Chains A and B, each alone.
Chain A
Amino acid sequence: MSKTITIDGLTVPFRDGQTIMDAALASGVYIPHLCHNPEFKPHGSCKLCTVNVNGRNAASCTMPATEGLQVLNDTAELNDERRALVQMLFVEGNHLCPSCEKSGNCQLQAVAYYLEMMSPHYNHFYPTREVDASHPGILLDRNRCIYCELCVRASRDADGKNVFGLTGRGMATTLIVNSASGRLGDTTLAVTDKAVQVCPTGALMKKGLAYTVPIGRRIFDHHSIKDVQTGGGHE
């Protein structure tokens, strides 16, 4: 008899060592998330995956599953809080979807669609952030970075290159590039590296693809991120 937890009344099995997020994804239960990717060690920073566990809120991507946990996930209250978090992500950066190549394939946008975010609600910061176009095949646009650290983890753990890092704290956090010049073009980052594939937004993108798949025919134009991430795995 396998061990189980309960998510919104549904019995979900888990193995020792799995987090609530792991167990949920394995059973096709969607918990909204941005900084989590099952291929990498959890970061627990975006807090979108916050669920109510036995009466207390916890990040499901870092919270280990233990026998009999009662988890609330898809509730109006939690989704309201998640929407507010996404709204804050939108106003903290410069997320102007009509001018972004990633639009329609962007997980930040997709989560906003899923949570029915009709406006960013808060006052926009319109921060000034640097764009690094020095790499021949890859564009780094910090305007769209949400500091999920996925490229940092992928470059370190999967590519073994350690190209990216986060520096600073709080509002001063920035994504830096590990080269003497600080420019992407002076690193060994390759277009095929995992770090380039995992960005949930349009911060790290392959050059030259542009609008080969037109707006309106992209994945989240027609499919909810809930179905994409519980059915066909991560994009």
Chain B
Amino acid sequence: MNRLVSRAIEEFLRSTYGEELVQELDGTPEAEAGVTDPARIDVSGLSRAGCRLSKPLSEMLEDMGGWMTRIEPIRRLLRFSGRDFKDFLLRLDELPGRANLVLPTLPVPRLQVRTSERGVQVMIIDPDPKSAWQFLLVGLIRGMADDYGALCLIAIDEVSIRIDIWDEQFAEGRLFSLEGASVMLGTT
């Protein structure tokens, strides 16, 4: 499981910061340590890259969430989960189920969705203080708002993400047809 996660991280770093950084991080002794907790996704590769780039881990995670929405096969999987941005948000509580349908051992926290005055509040249930999911989700949601062409404001507190939607049809969203893409995961 963790190999899939580290490969995703590696691909993100490669396409955002270039091969050089990936090689550099590969050579650090921490890269070899490899003590991982199966109940948590291992984002140590991202924190090492963050140190090297003087960027906080939270920012790295957000960027990676956004990057994921631009990888066509992943974007398609996310678009399957909602016909418009609001629908996508309201059905975010299906995300762990969808993820585990394909990757049964991927540790995804349960999500609870509530509607608020202007939009939606996503609560992360049993939050793990060291969990990477909150920031990753923020990046993912922001990326999908662009994808659907919605204008929204995203704010976070300790255990939840609040999304205020200002305009669902702010811009023309990217095209999505059910007829499958032949692009494979990880090819950018």
Do the two shown chains form a genuine complex with each other?
no
Residues of B within 8 A of A (CB): none
